[in-house]
């Protein structure tokens, strides 16, 4: 996972959490937003996204051996 990808995966959850706690997004969509935020933060901290493996994507510029 590349640096830009990790940064986006930190910024988006911050926005989603802010929208939830300000009451802009509530109910089912609010809970879905919080779950998405949690997944984004977790994958960013781990540095691995299982969906990228399934889709054959790689956002890291460093070539693996």
Sequence-ordered list of residues with C-beta below 8 angstroms from that of 43, at least 6 positions apart, any chain: 1, 9, 49, 50
Structural domain contains residue 17:
yes
List Cα–Cα distances, 9 to 25, 27, 36, 65, in angstroms. 19, 23, 10, 26
Structural domain contains residue 64:
no
Structural domain contains residue 30:
yes
- Element counts in the chain: helices (H) and strands (E): 3, 0
Q: What is the pTM of this model?
A: 0.73
Tens of pLDDT, residues 10-54: 999 999 999 999 999 999 999 999 999 999 898 888 877 777 777
Predicted confidence at residue 1, as pLDDT, reads: 67
pLDDT tier, 4 (very low <50, low <70, confident <90, very high otherwise): confident
* Number of domains forming the structure of the chain: 1
Residue 31's domain comprises 3-55
Predicted confidence at residue 26, as pLDDT, reads: 93
Residue 64 has pLDDT above 70, yes or no: no
């Amino acid at each position: 996972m590349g640096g830009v990808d990790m940064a986006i995966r930190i910024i988006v959850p911050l926005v989603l959490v802010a929208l939830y706690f300000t009451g802009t997004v509530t109910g089912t969509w609010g809970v879905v937003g919080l779950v998405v935020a949690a997944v984004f933060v977790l994958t960013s901290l781990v540095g691995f996204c299982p969906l990228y493996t399934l889709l054959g994507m790689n956002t890291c510029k460093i070539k693996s051996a």
